Amino acid sequence: MTRPELSVVVPCFNEEAVLEEFSGRMSRACSAVTRNYEIVFVDDGSSDRTWPLIEMLSRKDSRIVGVQLFRNHGHQLAATAGLSLANGERVLLIDADLQDPPELLPPMAKRMDEGFDVVYGKRIARAGETTFKRLTASVFYRLLNRLSSVPIPEDTGDFRLMSRPVVDILNTMPERHRFIRGMVSWIGGRQAAFPYARDARFAGETKYPLRKMISLAIDALTSFSTKPLRAAVWLGLMSSLFAFAILVYAVVQWVAGNVVPGWASSVVAISFFSGTQLFVLGVFGEYLGRVVQEVKGRPLFTIGKICRNDAKAELSGDIQKLQKAVTEYEQSDKRVSR
């Protein structure tokens, strides 16, 4: 079967409230670009009716593919699973919560027609988000760019349209602690921003609470920068110099006979050095833990089921059988003629 012109990868986690609305809007947006497309829904171990709804949508539309992971792997790995199964010449990565409007696909495709390898959504407004979240997101992206060896666009998410070569390279990158928007920036090529206003969630709750946002930030920093390690080394060096200065001062005071017993200075010194050591060990431990996870070489994700309407595949099989029968008949007819 021919490769579809467009694939849409949609990670889903407990999205029963928005799935049918998203599917309708996304299908209409795809049809405005091409009739030869597929939509890959990835159920990331949902506990609601997300998977039954995906199965229903797949039975209704042969262009919808459902992928069920064995358990919850997290948004980045769910997106990775979908990207590994997407076959399109172009691949759109988008969440199901409708904060990123599916209707932006046609203008993004036109932008890619200008010769770009990646067209990524750049948020110029964020409806329905708190001031705290907008502020922390702004600080995070600017800090990441200061630390990262690769420029990563600010105020962007994973909402992006990618060419086949970019997706193929992305699928060969084996790291477990993934930060897809940074990985795509690392790949390079011609990449263009597509400014848009992000909508509020259509329904349901956010799947990225503060805890997950902090975890994603740590993954991003450790994946694209070794500067925290360097900072830990410098902090340890400064602490050592400070400790040596205190030692010299203590010896000088002892020689001068000015030794005065006191607990405040001891507590301050012990607290400072203990805190510094724990911080440095924590930074090293964070990197070491990631090395251990990578060395194990386990699969990034585990797929339980893949469902799709196989009517096209069955029809293709019937045509092949018919062609084979015709060929055999023609060959036998030639033998009889001889």
Do 69 and 11 touch, CB atoms closer than 8 A? Answer: no
How far apart, in whole angstroms, are the C-alpha atoms of residue 283 and residue 265? 27
pTM of the model: 0.69
Torsion on CA atoms 221, 226, 229, 235, rounded to nearest 10: -90
Q: Which of 201, 212, 209 is nearest to 17 (CA)?
A: 201
The beta strands (E) that lie in the chain are given as 6-12, 37-43, 64-69, 90-93, 118-126, 156-163, 191-198, 303-308
pLDDT mean by block of 10 residues, the chain; 338 residues: 89 93 96 95 94 94 94 92 95 94 96 96 79 72 70 86 96 86 90 89 60 65 63 67 66 64 59 67 69 69 83 41 45 48
Which of left, alpha, beta for 302 (phi over 0: left; psi -120 to 50: alpha)? beta
Residue 237: both structure tokens together:
């060096």
Q: Which of 73, 86, 1, 6 is nearest to 41 (CA)?
A: 86
Q: What's the gap between Cα 289 and its chain centre? A: 20
The beta strands (E) that lie in 185-284 are given as 191-198
